[in-house]
Amino acid sequence: MGEVVTEPGGTRPIGVGVIGFGWMGRVHAQAYARVRHHFPGLRLVPELVVVADEVPGRAEEAAEQFGFATAVRDWRDVLADPRVQAVSVTAPNWLHREIGVTVAEAGRHLWIEKPVGLTADDARAVADAARAAGVRSAVGFNYRNAPAVALARETVVSGGIGRVTHARFYFLSDYAASPDGALTWRYERARGGNGVLGDLASHAVDLVRFLLGDIASVVADTAVFLPERARPTSATAGHSLVVGGEKGAVENDDYVSALLRMASGARVALEASRVAVGEQNTYGFVVHGTAGTVSWDFRRMGELGVSQGGRHQDQPVTTVFVGPGAGHFAAFQPGAGIPMSYDDLKVVEARNFLSSIASGRPEGADLDDAVVAAVTLDALAASSERGSWLAPTVPAGPGGARATTRRP
């Protein structure tokens, strides 16, 4: 069922199922609904067939609002529907491995959110299943889809800032900063994995590799700053608050800081926090080279700071408003300086997923990228425990990942 064949120059429908309909499931549904508005040349036209969510009434509400033909409680019922050829998995982390492997083994193409399970073994199991079934995949590393990030990569790879010497990547947020934040699955080791590493640092690690190439070794320090939270008394959505509930222990990390040595010889400082008061989605990077720098802040997504030239000392930084010609900007806006949104990045992700199914070739972040990121996250966690440098090792062949195609 994984193969989808289209006539030359023609289009055909592809039935889509969505498993899990919290905020991210909604974002995926919206991306499918919008993707052909922005990419009319796509050969596959997504049709929303089935939505699954275990919370009573949530799938039915999603079906009514977004036009899914069927609403179910059990995610396995999505795969029992012969109309479904591609599946989005936006369920919680601890379910990624079971659902992802089952989706692939059922011959459905798979768009799954990061970090693809709790460990590198989980990500590798899903990747192996997809490879064995011959299905295409996409993974939710959406920040690499920003046109300014695409321009930054082009600038780095082309030598526009000289040889990269050092960089800083930061993913700071306050979503868990309140001591009244509910003790949901995100804070449990068995269901939420390694905490901020899988949630935010996974994005940072993917951006490091996307922009700068392979990571040779890492050393990290982690911390839990809010060791107890109140247990929720009912189903939660997002980052709910609870006052007066029974307290339970936070089992995974609130914060990570790390140093990375790149295969190119460059050095990287990486920091991620979910308890940074005053920081709302403060995500970005600064990359320094021997002849300049590029910098980006997600909250000013359409701007790229660029310094180039031969002055070295006292060399000015210019703010570039990215426009048509940078990444997929032209699919959304006609001229520089018109803002794009987070949801637009997921539309690009949907485009890459559908295009890869039609072409049979990888486009955008996929399960191989998830394996590399997960191996690096495991190395960061192990380094924090041991207090020493470690080298992330990605096996070759089945269970590994495709080689990095370029090293800036």
Q: CA-to-CA distance for 184 and 312, rounded, in angstroms?
A: 49
Domain boundaries, the chain: 12-142, 143-338+367-386
- Percent of all residues in the chain with a pLDDT value above 70, rounded to a whole number: 93
* 143-338+367-386 belongs to CATH 3.40.50.1400: no
pTM: 0.92
Which among 268, 139, 120, 115 is positioned nearest to 196, based on CA atoms? 115
Q: Do residues 2 and 14 touch, judged by C-beta distance below 8 A?
A: no
pLDDT surpasses 60 at 397:
no
Question: Does the 12-142 domain belong in CATH 3.40.50.720?
Answer: yes
Higher-confidence residue of 110 and 401: namely: 110
pLDDT in tens, 108-141: 999 999 999 999 999 999 999 999 999 999 999 9
Query: Quick one: what percent of the chain has pLDDT higher than 90?
Result: 88
Closest CA to 146 of 263, 297, 260: 297
d(CA 27, CA 369): 21
The bridge status of strand 137-139 relative to strand 109-112 is: parallel
Asked whether 247 and 228 are in contact (CB, 8 A), the reply is yes
CA distance 266 to 165: 5
Would the CATH topology of 12-142 be identical to that of 143-338+367-386?
Answer: no
